[in-house]
Amino acid sequence: MSAAAPHAPHADDDRRDAIVIGGGPAGLMAAEMLAANGLRVDVYDAMPSVGRKFLMAGKGGMNLTHAEAADAFLGRYGSRAPDIAPWLEAFGAQALRDWVHALGIDTFVGSSGRVFPTDMKAAPLLRAWLHRLRERGVRFHMRHRWLGFDSARDGLADGRHALRFATKDGEATVHARAVVLALGGGSWARLGSDGAWIPMLAARGVDIAPLRPANCGFEIAWSDVFRARNAGEPVKSVAMSVTALDGTPWHRLGEFVISESGIEGSLVYALSAPIRDRIEADGHATITLDLAPGRAAEDVAREIGRPRGSRSVSSHLQSRLGIAGVKAGLLREVLSKEAMHDPVALAAAIKALPLRLERARPIDEVISSAGGVRFEAMDDRLMLNALPGVFCAGEMLDWEAPTGGYLLTACFGSGRVAGMGAADYLKR
């Protein structure tokens, strides 16, 4: 789908009440808040259309938010939960669902607690939203890549910020009294989130935490035999554990996928933050897998210890515990031949199989990124302390969350806060 054709500025039309740079969920929500306050709003984006990462995220089913209890929901944001709490108090999971319903899109709660549009698609929601924004006077300027502030002219046009853009017709400068930046993090650069804004804000004294991969896969030095046999195979009904740097044990049930380079999938993403932090501190991380999470260690040891007669170890594992295929392959990949034939060692490995993870996958191919503009560099309206009148929202801020609707909910919430903050700034 495509956004409206770019608006061609008139000679006297380079001044705006407010502009939003970045057409993802956070930027569009900021634009909605500004327009609701009767302000002239223009949205600029480097891509040919808005919402490209939003649409990509919806290809496998548009997970909007999560229906779990508020305390548990907030806990998904880790150390940044206190900073994000006001966003969710004002616009949490239920408020987001109500907002979606007002666009004419029904939602439902899946068995995992995740919330989806009834048709599971992102495109109808985005179309309805853009239609409403245009009706409220929001104008869209596509293929406008932000180049930073015009140092010679910034602040000289009635206190307005001067912003430079690269367009198909050359460079243009636009003035605005308030600016909302919603430029994304560092993942999926081809969809617009490339982190190019970092040196522009750092040069203006904005404190920025380095971008790091989040919700990411990790690399393991698989043997050629294991990789050839198992790459692409799902590992289902397992538990994964890792110890965080502060000693906190993390433990999750679920499933993941063996990749050519290591492991990925929902269970891995849920633990990616403590795994990544451990790799950054120690050079590697060790996780443990429980391949039979529904059975007690004593039960596993008893079954493995039963005489197997002439049967192979593989047949014994399958008949006694139902362990076969990729799970059996993981055991053979990690254990020596001697350990595979030692009932005590084999039983222990089934309940706690260690995997050494070497590094996270490159940031450009991960679902989201951590790091960005530190909260300490902004006030509670998300306005930059170093740049009055400039607000930030979305994934370019220094927070992270697992998949499951938490990322999107906070992006919407931050856009709402930044948009309302910019509207309040303009009124004052």
DSSP-derived secondary structure letter, 387: S
> Which pLDDT score, from 0 to 100, does residue 9 have?
42
For residue 310, pLDDT beyond 50: yes
Q: How do 114-117 and 353-357 pair as beta strands?
A: unpaired
pLDDT in tens, 78-88: 999 999 999 99
> Which pLDDT score, from 0 to 100, does residue 348 have?
97
Say how far apart CA 236 and CA 38 lie, in whole Å.
52
Indicate whether 197 and 71 sit together in one domain: yes
For residue 4, pLDDT beyond 60: no
Residue 234 domain-assigned (yes or no): yes
Indicate whether 233 and 120 sit together in one domain: no
For residue 8, pLDDT beyond 60: no
Q: How do 262-264 and 285-290 pair as beta strands?
A: unpaired
Q: Phi, psi (5° rounding) for residue 283?
A: 90, -10
pLDDT in tens, 23-33: 999 999 999 99
Q: 286: burial class by Cβ within 10 Å (0-12, 13-18, 19+)?
A: middle
What are the CB-based long-range contacts (under 8 Å, 24+) for 149-157? 149/200, 149/204, 157/15
pLDDT in tens, 258-276: 999 999 999 999 999 999 9
> Which pLDDT score, from 0 to 100, does residue 193 have?
87
Whether the Cβ atoms of residue 326 and residue 233 lie closer than 8 Å to each other? yes
Residue 8 domain-assigned (yes or no): no
Token digits of residue 2? 């495509």
Indicate whether 61 and 209 sit together in one domain: yes
- The residue behind tokens 């790459």 is 231
Indicate whether 207 and 242 sit together in one domain: no
Residues 6 or more apart whose CB falls under 8 angstroms from that of 133 comprise 28, 31, 32, 35, 43
For residue 204, pLDDT beyond 90: yes
Say how far apart CA 149 and CA 152 lie, in whole Å.
9
Indicate whether 355 and 254 sit together in one domain: yes
Q: How do 359-360 and 218-219 pair as beta strands?
A: antiparallel
Indicate whether 152 and 265 sit together in one domain: no
> Which pLDDT score, from 0 to 100, does residue 192 have?
84
What is the dihedral angle through the alpha carbons of 328, 329, 330, 331, rounded to the nearest 10 degrees? 50
Indicate whether 184 and 47 sit together in one domain: yes
Residue 163 domain-assigned (yes or no): yes
Indicate whether 144 and 284 sit together in one domain: no
For residue 295, pLDDT beyond 70: yes
**Domain C-terminal end among 360, 392, 416:** 360
> Which comes out higher in pLDDT, residue 299 or 158?
299
DSSP-derived secondary structure letter, 7: P
> Which pLDDT score, from 0 to 100, does residue 80 have?
96
Indicate whether 390 and 421 sit together in one domain: yes
Q: How confident is the model at residue 2 (pLDDT cuts 50, 70, 90)?
A: very low
> Which pLDDT score, from 0 to 100, does residue 16 have?
75
* CATH number for 163: 3.50.50.60
- 26, amino acid identity: A
> Which pLDDT score, from 0 to 100, does residue 153 have?
64
Residue 11 domain-assigned (yes or no): no
Domain boundaries, position 267? 218-360
Indicate whether 268 and 341 sit together in one domain: yes
Residue whose C-alpha is closest to residue 226's, from 268, 259, 267: 259
CB-side exposure of 289: number of CA atoms within 13 Å?
Answer: 23
**Domain C-terminal end among 330, 360, 390:** 360
Residue 16, H or E segment:
strand 15-21
What is the dihedral angle through the alpha carbons of 199, 178, 97, 368, rounded to the nearest 10 degrees? 0
Residues 6 or more apart whose CB falls under 8 angstroms from that of 89 comprise none
Per-state percent for the chain, helix, strand, coil, to nearest 5? 40, 25, 35
Residue 308 domain-assigned (yes or no): yes
For residue 3, pLDDT beyond 80: no
pLDDT, the chain, mean: 93
pTM of the complete model: 0.90
Coil, helix or strand at residue 290: strand
Residue 398, H or E segment:
none
Residue 6 domain-assigned (yes or no): no
For residue 65, pLDDT beyond 80: yes
Indicate whether 380 and 340 sit together in one domain: no
Indicate whether 148 and 281 sit together in one domain: no
Domain count, the chain: 2
For residue 70, pLDDT beyond 50: yes
> Which pLDDT score, from 0 to 100, does residue 1 have?
41
Residue 4 domain-assigned (yes or no): no
Strand partners, 21: 44, 181
Share of the chain above pLDDT 90, in %: 87
Q: Phi, psi (5° rounding) for residue 306?
A: -65, 145
pLDDT in tens, 415-426: 999 999 999 999
**Domain C-terminal end among 321, 343, 360:** 360
- 132-163 as b/e: b if 16+ CB within 10 A: ebeeeebbbbbbbbbebbbeeebbebeebbbb
> Which pLDDT score, from 0 to 100, does residue 157 have?
54
- 235, amino acid identity: V
How many CB atoms neighbour CB 226 within 10 A?
Answer: 17
Token digits of residue 173? 């400068």
What is the dihedral angle through the alpha carbons of 215, 219, 225, 231, rounded to the nearest 10 degrees? 20
Residue 7 domain-assigned (yes or no): no
pLDDT in tens, 317-369: 999 999 999 999 999 999 999 999 999 999 999 999 999 999 999 999 899 99
pLDDT in tens, 209-226: 999 999 999 999 999 999
